[in-house]
Structure 1
Amino acid sequence: MATALFFASSTGNTEEVANKIAKSLGDIKIYNICDSDVNDILNYDKIILGTSTWGEGELQDDWDEIWEEFCSLDFSNKTVALFGLGDQDGYGDEFCDALGIMYEQVKKANANIIGFTSTDGYEYEYSKAQIGDEFAGLVIDEDNQDDLTDERIASWIEKIKNKIL
Structure 2
Amino acid sequence: MAKVGIFFGSDTGNTRRVAKSIAKKLGDAADAPVDVKKASVDDVLKYDSLILGTPTLGDGELPGLDAGASDESWAEFLPKLKGKDFSGKTVALFGLGDQEGYGHEFVDALIFLYDLVIENGGKVVGFWPTDGYTFEKSNATVDDQFVGLVIDHENQSEQTDERLDTWLEQIKPALGV
TM-score between both structures, scaled by the size of structure 2: 0.90
> Which 4+ stretches in 1 moved above 4 angstroms?
none
Q: Quick one: which amino acid aligns to residue 59 of structure 1?
A: L
> CA deviation digits over 1:39-95, x for unaligned, max 9?
311101101100010000000110001221022322111000000001111111110
Shift of 1:38: 2.7
- The match for 1:113 among 121, 124, 129 is 124
| Bigger mean CA offset, 1-10 vs 75-84 | 1-10
Q: Distance in 2 between matches of 1:38 and 1:144?
A: 34
CA RMSD of the aligned region, Å? 1.0
Q: Quick one: which amino acid aligns to residue 13 of structure 1?
A: N
Residue identity over aligned pairs, in percent, reads 49
| Number of positions where the alignment pairs a residue of Structure 1 with one of Structure 2 | 165
Q: Distance in 1 between matches of 2:41 and 2:134?
A: 33
Q: Distance in 2 between matches of 1:39 and 1:143?
A: 34
Structure 1 segment 39-50 matched on structure 2, within 5 A: 39-50=42-53
Q: Distance in 2 between matches of 1:70 and 1:52?
A: 18
Q: Quick one: which amino acid aligns to residue 3 of structure 2?
A: A
Shift of 1:25: 0.9
> CA deviation digits over 1:97-117, x for unaligned, max 9?
010121111111111111001
Q: Distance in 2 between matches of 1:58 and 1:41?
A: 21
Q: Distance in 2 between matches of 1:101 and 1:125?
A: 19
> CA deviation digits over 1:123-146, x for unaligned, max 9?
001111111221101000011111
Q: Is the Cα–Cα contact under 8 Å of residues 101 and 128 in structure 1 kept in the other structure?
A: no
The residue matched to 1:152 in structure 2 has which SS?
Answer: helix
Matching residue of 1:151: 162
Q: Is the Cα–Cα contact under 8 Å of residues 39 and 73 in structure 1 kept in the other structure?
A: no
Identify unmatched segments of 5+ residues in structure 2. Answer: 65-72
Shift of 1:2: 2.9
Q: Distance in 1 between matches of 2:83 and 2:63?
A: 18
The residue matched to 1:26 in structure 2 has which SS?
Answer: helix
TM-score between both structures, scaled by the size of structure 1: 0.96
The residue matched to 2:109 in structure 1 has which SS?
Answer: helix
Q: Is the Cα–Cα contact under 8 Å of residues 52 and 59 in structure 1 kept in the other structure?
A: yes
Structure 1 segment 82-161 matched on structure 2, within 5 A: 82-161=93-172
Matching residue of 1:8: 9
Q: Is the Cα–Cα contact under 8 Å of residues 5 and 18 in structure 1 kept in the other structure?
A: yes
Shift of 1:5: 0.4
Q: Quick one: which amino acid aligns to residue 40 of structure 2?
A: D
Q: Distance in 2 between matches of 1:54 and 1:70?
A: 20
